[in-house]
Amino acid sequence: MSDQAPIRRITAPQIRARKNGEPIVSLTSYHAHTAAIVDKYADFILVGDSLGMVMHGMESTVGVTLDMMITHGKAVVRGTQRALIVVDMPFGTYEESPNMAFRNAAKVMTATQCQAVKLEGGARMAETIRFLVDRGIPVMAHIGLTPQSTNVLGGFKTQGRDTATWEHHINDARAVAGAGAFAVVVEGVVEPLAVEITKAIDIPTIGIGASAHCDGQILVLEDMLGLNPSPPKFVKVYGEFGGMMDRAVAAYAQEVKSRAFPSDDETYR
């Protein structure tokens, strides 16, 4: 028998129960060491498919594969103990049918040991969300601006500027909540629509570029750390890590070139 204390993570039902309660804190992470820091403060960590752009220099999330999500998901699970870990289902791995979604979501969960998956889409994904939840897979939904559909949407455009579209977005929120999602990411919608969506459903809304009126917030870690040279306009940068890294790499290069690099006996552990 092990004398180690079992790892107790925040659960999907605990996140679900935070509707109208203490605001939910979340960030993305794709990497064990950064996840270990985020784990101290976040209720859940999303291994988002934004890793395609952030980690792999892709133009969009459309080229991200299940294997990429599994590799980074494993790293984040290994680096953390407390937060709920949610892994994104990438484009093309869940939309076709509930069966396909279950097969791939189960693969992600068994390979990474994450506790939940996230998928994009509202009413059109309700049947799939119900299918997964009924078979033991907690699902976080994602509505509003859904990056995997940017080719259809025509780019990263704020949703809900035209009030005539609000009913569609509110119906999406109701559909995913009714299908059993434990929370829903609401991305890139105008503030009054975020307010209406948050009021309309009994599961927490997690905003990104969707005002402070959601039940929680998520940001891409590298954006808020100042590592993205052109972050989205709505992002508040909490640390200037891009500049710090530039200075650190420059100092190292300078030491190596000027033969001031510390000798081995000082640097080996």
Report the alpha-carbon distance of residue 87 to residue 104 in Å, rounded: 12
Burial of 71 (0-12, 13-18, 19+ CB in 10 A): middle
Count the site residues for ligand KIV by CB under 6 A.
12
Binding segment toward ligand KIV, per CB under 6 A, in 16-24, 47-55, 236-244, 252-260: 47-55
Report yes or no: 71 and 49 within 8 Å, Cβ to Cβ.
no
Spot the catalytic one: 22, 95, 187, 222.
187
Distances (CA, A) of 199 to 77, 160, 190: 33, 16, 15
With CB under 6 A as the contact rule, which of the stretches 43-51, 161-169, 234-242, 257-265 interacts with ligand KIV?
Answer: 43-51
Exposed / middle / buried, residue 125 (Cβ in 10 Å: 0-12, 13-18, 19+): buried
Please report, as residue ranges, which positions from 122 to 161 form the binding site for ligand KIV (by CB under 6 A). Answer: 142
Query: What gap in Å lies between CA 228 and CA 262, rounded to an integer?
Result: 31
| Choices 1-9, 41-49, 90-98, 222-230; region in contact with ligand KIV by CB under 6 A | 41-49
Per CB under 6 A, the list member of 29, 50, 115, 128 interacting with ligand KIV is: 50
CA dihedral 123, 155, 51, 85 (to 10 degrees): -30
Measured from each CB, the residue nearest to ligand KIV is 48
Among 39, 43, 88, 223, binds ligand KIV (CB under 6 A): 88
Neighbours of 113 (CB within 10 A): 12
Known catalytic residue: 222?
Answer: no
Minimum CB distance to ligand KIV, residue 147 (Å) = 7
Among 12, 39, 48, 141, binds ligand KIV (CB under 6 A): 48
Q: Binding of ligand KIV at residue 90 (CB under 6 A)?
A: no
Closer residue to ligand KIV (CB): 66 or 218: 218
Q: How far is the CB of 143 from ligand KIV (least distance, A)?
A: 11
| Burial group, residue 14, by CB count within 10 angstroms (0-12, 13-18, 19+) | middle
- Of the pair 79, 147, the CB lying nearest ligand KIV is at 147
| Nearest CB to ligand KIV, comparing residues 185 and 194 | 185
Q: Which stretch binds ligand KIV (CB under 6 A): 1-9, 42-50, 222-230, 244-252?
A: 42-50
**Restricting to residues 11-40, which ones interact with ligand KIV according to CB under 6 A?**
28
Comparing CB distances to ligand KIV, the nearer of 62 and 106 is 62
Active site residue ranges: 187
Interaction site with ligand KIV (CB under 6 A): 28, 46, 48-50, 88, 142, 185, 187, 208, 218, 220
